[in-house]
Amino acid sequence: MAANQVGKTLAAGFELGMHTTGMYPDWWRGRRFDKATTWWAAGVTGESTRDNPQRILLGRPGAWGTGAIPKVNIVDTSSARGLADAVDTIRIRHLDGETSSIQLKSYEKGREKWQGETLTGGVWFDEEPPQAIYTEGLTRTNATGGMTLITFTPLLGMTEVVRRFLLEPSADCHVTTMTIEDAEHYTPEQRLAIINTYAPYERDARTQGIPQLGSGRVFPLGQNEIECEPFAIPKEWVQICGLDFGWDHPSAGIRMAWDRDADILYVIAAHRAREQTPLMFAGAVRPWGGWLPWAWPHDGLQHDKGSGEQLAKQYRDHGLNMCKVKASFPDGTNGFEAGISEMLDRMETGRLKVFKHLSQWFEEFNLYHRKEGLIVKLNDDLISATRYAMMMRRYAVTQFQSIRNVPEFQSRARADGLSWME
């Protein structure tokens, strides 16, 4: 899932060339096929399949053998009907002496044309396929353990295909991203000129490989506008953590530092994982510092069906310094949109920064979007944890403060309706 014109089709085409010939370079660490295999390669239309996958695999018409498949390995090709210079099937000599094949297809002929076959190699989708065709292509490899490749720029936004890869990751799936900055065949001046040709709403998709969300993005800023290089936190800055409870969706925690003089919040650490018990989660984040206070949402007041204990108490019992009250603003409210609005305001004014190496946080930031005006509450666990910490920053402390003996924290607790000695 990558920017435009950075080499994604070229990369997949040469990978298919290796798989169908069995000719792998010594440095190749990916999957290897030691026997001849059968493949499908497809684009959106017959023309786009001819002009892209076919061109990369074979070379241009009249120059077969100048692409990813060496001329000596091309056994023969058969022409497609009704489209000049288009090939239907390529037959390739594999190192095992048998013949591999690649059949060239398109999405425009519909799902029915994708049924029936069993592929020993796999499917290469060049550009994002419709969900029905993606599923049919995937099904062709179920019985053989074949593989599926998709090379595309995510101009269609958060489609079902994109959503499954990004929001439902699994051990047998991988997303490789590539931005225009990774394309070393462009000079810095060329990159800037290319970026400036795109409309703002499509710039992230075409230059960063981020799904196009247009005006639906909750935070319509570039990642570069809020990221910063990691640095040592001054000992006089106060800190607080935020926790978003989860199980089926990940549990998430962030660590936040607050430069109170400049009123800038920094997200300096993040942890996100599925199916973590309070014990497991606490063990993962405890190295951040047992002195850190943790802000948490209203569902921490719910009682666990098994133990009957409040969720927040379970985390407290495993060593996290949980705030005594659920996350709220100083006036006692905890409005969702109010929190999002303050986060956006801080981002736009340079008062919310995130250490640039926190890739999981930026993954959520880049995909956080609205549908029909409402925020889609998926893949927002670290964002939510950040919101809770921001709301409760009045409870942030330095490592060397003893909260019970600091009058300002006592007064804040009383304002929240607490007896400080509880």
Active site residues: 127
Q: Collapse the DSSP code of 168 into the 3-class scheme (helix H, G, I; strand E, B; otherwise coil) and give the result.
A: coil
Q: Which ranges in 220-350 belong to alpha helices (H)?
A: 278-285, 311-317, 336-348
**With the C-alpha atoms ordered 77, 80, 81, 83, is the resulting torsion angle positive or negative?**
negative
Q: Which residues contact 38 (CB under 8 A, 6 or more apart)?
A: 100, 101, 102, 103, 117, 119, 120, 121
Q: Which residues contact 166 (CB under 8 A, 6 or more apart)?
A: 175, 211, 363, 367, 379
Q: Distance (Å, rounded) from C-alpha 394 to C-alpha 320?
A: 18
Phi first, then psi, for residue 158 (nearest 5°) are -85, 70
Residue 244: name the closest of 266, 222, 219, 273 by CA.
273
Q: Distance (Å, rounded) from C-alpha 122 to C-alpha 118?
A: 9
Which tokens sit at 114?
């994708």
